[in-house]
Amino acid sequence: MTSNSSTLISVFNVFSVLGIFLTSATLIPVLCFRVRRRPAWISQMVFWLVYSISYFLLLGRQIGQAPPFGLCILQAALIYASPASCAFGVTCFMVDFYMAWRSVLTGYKTPTRFVNFIATIPAIVHVLLFCVVLLLVNDPATVQREEMGFYCHTTDGVASAITIFIVLGAAFILLPIEIWTGVSLYQHWKAFRRLEREGGPFSLSVYIRMISFSVFTGFGLGLGLFIIPRLTSEADPRWSALLPTLPVLASLAFGTQRDILAVYMFWKWSPRSPPPVPLKKDELVGLYPHDQRPSFFVCQEVESNERLVC
């Protein structure tokens, strides 16, 4: 093991730990305090957390003796399932955004069941692909540590091909919805800006974050497509060190919203602006119902100017 390899492993682990920390910090205000988000938002952030954890499992076993088979196959199954679930998380997030925007334009209220179903699709994809990867392993010798030691994978290429196929399918669904939404926002730009000025649930900041998130996903898809050919060619394996960066980028896009940051800005808490109140146990039921007002985010009321913060 060269010093360069050890450095790359350290970089890989730092990004993995940072991804876990940032995605957790993004979710805590939503799950434990009265910062509200729609189910699709929560779903896709949860699976970015799972994505980070999957790369973290081999920490301390990336050099030297081979890791236990059980740990190795668990990590491999999670690593192949996570990109697919995250890809569908982003796609469902965009579908939810479009449906909410359509509700604003038409007054049609999206059924709560449909909103909740969209949020569960990434979980369904994740569980199915996880089980498929486990069933595909006929020879334990095909599950081994990756060349650089970053993580465990399967060497037969079947699981990789399935993951790429599913991610590409999610991308083909995402692209037209994203274009369609962008065209609709452009056609109704005055109404969109008026909603922003009046403190409505849509704002330019929300739209920019959404587009940035899609760009991050495209970056991850391109990176994955570049790395997968290593199974049959001599592509540089060092690119794998960048795989854990995607949850970091996602957290920076959605964990820097004002109401989330306000939970951690304890030095700004005052009698006029009390600190965030933790949720009580009996408040967890029905925390994220479909709001009566069509909205992308169920925003937080701000007492000082009575606008909705997104």
DSSP notation for the chain: --HHHHHHHHHHHHHHHHHHHHHHHHHHHHHHBS----HHHHHHHHHHHHHHHHHHTTTT-SSSSPPPHHHHHHHHHHHHHHHHHHHHHHHHHHHHHHHHHHHHHH-PPPPHHHHHHHHHHHHHHHHHHHHHHHHH---GGGEEE-TTSS-EEESSSHHHHHHHHHHHHHHHHHHHHHHHHHHHHHHTHHHHHHHHHTT-S--HHHHHHHHHHHHHHHHHHHHHHHHGGGGTS---GGGGGGTTHHHHHHHHHHTTSHHHHHHH-GGG--SSSPPPPBPPGGGSTTSSPPPSS--SS-PEE-TTT-PEE-
Average pLDDT over residues 11-38: 90
237: containing domain: 3-309
pLDDT at 178: 82
**Distance, CA of 92 to CA of 95 (rounded, Å):** 5
Q: In the prediction, which pLDDT does 286 show? A: 33
Average pLDDT, the chain: 77
Q: Which CATH number characterizes residue 192's domain? A: 1.20.1070.10
| Structural domains counted in the chain | 1
- Judge contact between 42 and 27, C-beta under 8 A: yes
Percent pLDDT > 70 in the chain is 71
Which of 277, 285, 104, 266 minimizes the C-alpha distance to 195?
104
> Which residue type does 132 have?
V
Pairing of strands 152-154, 300-301: unpaired
Q: What pLDDT band is residue 269 in, cutting at 50, 70 and 90?
A: low
At 85 the pLDDT is 92
User: By percentage, how much of the chain surpasses pLDDT 90?
Assistant: 22
CA angle 182, 260, 13 (to 5 degrees): 90
Residue 253 pLDDT greater than 60, yes or no = yes
Which carries the bigger pLDDT value, residue 218 or residue 127?
A: 127
HSE of 235, CA atoms in CB hemisphere, 13 A: 13
Considering the entire predicted model, what is its pTM? Answer: 0.80
Residue 119 has pLDDT above 50, yes or no: yes
**pLDDT band, residue 117 (cuts 50/70/90):** very high
pLDDT at 285 over 80: no
Kindly tell me if the per-residue pLDDT of 129 is higher than 90: yes
| pLDDT digit string, tens, across residues 134-157 | 998 888 888 888 878 888 888 888
